[in-house]
């Protein structure tokens, strides 16, 4: 994720001697183990007062004096509190630690991220990948209807909730850099910084930072492409630098999915439209993209893929 990097003078404001060894000090949660994290927040598995397991996202100690990092986490909490959809991870509680760091408490769901599934399985069956991405798009559409654009759609932010029977249920994670419009807007990001993950970033995020639902459609198109092809849509060398990756989004024509994977032409055309450089040429909504995906894959192919994955 690209964004603002804390300056050294900001980090030095933290009184190291005052820090607690308990990252959730003053809350009703007790840490079991660290399970993830990013530049500004860590995610812990923790037990609640009745012994139930939660995933707690909390601002890191060294970011305690960063108002921007704290504001992003609080905005994410407000967003999750306002959104209710089976393809979005729900919020159970938002609060502050004793030393003044915001935290979000979410249920600890069984399963793994789409990124972890991909690393473990390699290329996914087209119908299975299509069903996962279409479900994730349903969650995004619910967010978009509330004026929220995710801006960091990628496999690591799609959680596959394990089911007792049948396929996993995709749920969108991490609205930490989401863009909020209208009355829900509480916090804006400095426009000189590009936010997002370079591999999945849309051209308009690079050019002027103006985003809408079609921005997430582009990123999800790349997710779908690489889930099926086990490679990205651009012919880039492994380890290409950031400038090369961004130039590809801006000016390099993406490969056709049916050129690199065994999928029907109609399905490849659906993915190609999501990857159009100009937002006006893409699907206008996440719901429209999800409907096109489902329409390009026969129902029996979906159910067959789900049986193989269960």
pLDDT band at 164 (very low <50, low <70, confident <90, very high): confident
Residue 167, classed as helix, strand or coil, is coil
Give, rounded to a whole angstrom, the gap between the first and last alpha carbons of the chain. 32
Query: What average pLDDT does the chain have?
Result: 84
Question: Would you tell me the crossing angle of helices 126-145 and 213-229 to the nearest 10 degrees?
Answer: 170
Average pLDDT value for residue range 68-96: 90
Task: Check if the beta carbon of residue 139 is closer than 8 Å to that of residue 160.
Answer: no
Q: What is the pLDDT of residues 103-154, one digit of tens each?
A: 999 999 999 999 999 999 999 999 999 999 999 999 999 999 988 898 899 9
What does the domain layout of the chain look like in residue ranges? 8-107, 111-309
Task: Check if the beta carbon of residue 195 is closer than 8 Å to that of residue 245.
Answer: no
Residue identified by tokens 């979000």 is: 104
| Statement: residue 185 has pLDDT above 80 | no
User: In 3D, which of 252, 285, 258 has the Cα closest to residue 271?
Assistant: 258
Residue with the larger pLDDT of the pair 39 and 181: 39
Separation between Cα atoms, residue 44 and residue 184, nearest integer Å = 28
What is the model's pLDDT at position 141? Answer: 96
| Statement: residue 17 has pLDDT above 50 | no
Average pLDDT value for residue range 72-93: 90
What percentage of the chain has pLDDT greater than the value 70? 84
| 8 Cα distance to chain centroid | 28
Residue with the larger pLDDT of the pair 150 and 292: 292
Active site residues: 152
Separation between Cα atoms, residue 89 and residue 78, nearest integer Å = 13
Q: CA 59, 62, 66 angle in degrees (round to 5)?
A: 70
What is the model's pLDDT at position 79? Answer: 86
| Statement: residue 294 has pLDDT above 60 | yes
Separation between Cα atoms, residue 242 and residue 227, nearest integer Å = 22
HSE (CB half, 13 Å, CA atoms) of 51? Answer: 0
Average pLDDT value for residue range 197-223: 92
pLDDT band at 259 (very low <50, low <70, confident <90, very high): very high
The torsion angles phi and psi of 220, rounded to 5 degrees, stand at -70, -30
What is the model's pLDDT at position 286? Answer: 97
Residue identified by tokens 């909730």 is: 161
* Greatest Cα-to-Cα distance within the chain, rounded to the nearest angstrom: 62
What is the model's pLDDT at position 1? Answer: 36
Secondary structure (H, E, C), 47-88: ECCCCCEEEEEEECHHHCCCHHHHHHHHHHHHHHHHCCCCCE
What percentage of the chain has pLDDT greater than the value 90? 61
8-107 adopts what CATH topology?
Answer: Phosphorylase Kinase; domain 1 (3.30.200)
The secondary structure of residue 84, as a DSSP letter, is -
Number of residues written out for the chain: 310
CATH superfamily of 111-309: Transferase(Phosphotransferase) domain 1 (1.10.510.10)
8-107 and 111-309: same fold? no
Query: Is the pTM higher than 0.85?
Result: no
């Amino acid at each position: 994720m690209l964004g603002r990097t804390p300056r050294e003078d900001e980090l030095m404001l933290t009184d190291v001697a005052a820090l607690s060894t308990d990252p959730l000090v003053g809350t009703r949660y007790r840490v079991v183990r660290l399970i993830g994290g990013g530049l500004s927040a860590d995610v812990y598995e923790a037990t609640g007062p009745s012994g139930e397991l939660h995933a707690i996202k909390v601002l890191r100690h060294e970011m305690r004096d960063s108002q921007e990092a704290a504001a992003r986490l609080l905005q994410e909490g407000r967003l999750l509190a306002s959104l209710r959809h089976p393809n979005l991870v729900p919020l159970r509680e938002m609060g502050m630690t004793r030393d003044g760091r915001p935290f979000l408490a979410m249920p600890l769901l069984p399963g793994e991220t789409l990124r972890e599934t991909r690393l473990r399985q390699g290329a996914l069956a087209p119908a299975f990948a299509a069903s996962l991405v279409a479900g994730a798009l349903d969650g995004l559409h619910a967010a978009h209807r509330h004026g929220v654009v995710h801006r960091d759609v990628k496999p690591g932010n799609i959680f596959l909730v394990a089911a007792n029977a049948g396929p996993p249920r995709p749920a969108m994670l991490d609205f930490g850099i989401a863009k909020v419009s209208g009355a829900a807007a509480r916090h804006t990001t400095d426009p000189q910084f590009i936010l997002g993950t370079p591999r999945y970033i849309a051209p308009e995020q690079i050019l002027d930072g103006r985003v809408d639902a079609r921005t997430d459609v582009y990123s999800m198109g790349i997710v779908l492409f690489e889930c099926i092809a086990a490679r990205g849509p651009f012919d880039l060398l492994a380890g290409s630098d950031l400038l090369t990756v961004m130039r590809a989004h801006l000016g390099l024509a993406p490969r056709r999915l049916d050129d690199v994977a065994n999928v029907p032409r109609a399905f490849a055309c659906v993915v190609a439209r999501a990857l159009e450089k100009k937002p006006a040429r893409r699907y206008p909504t996440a719901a429209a993209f999800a409907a096109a995906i489902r329409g390009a894959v026969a129902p029996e192919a979906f159910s067959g893929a789900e049986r193989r994955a269960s």
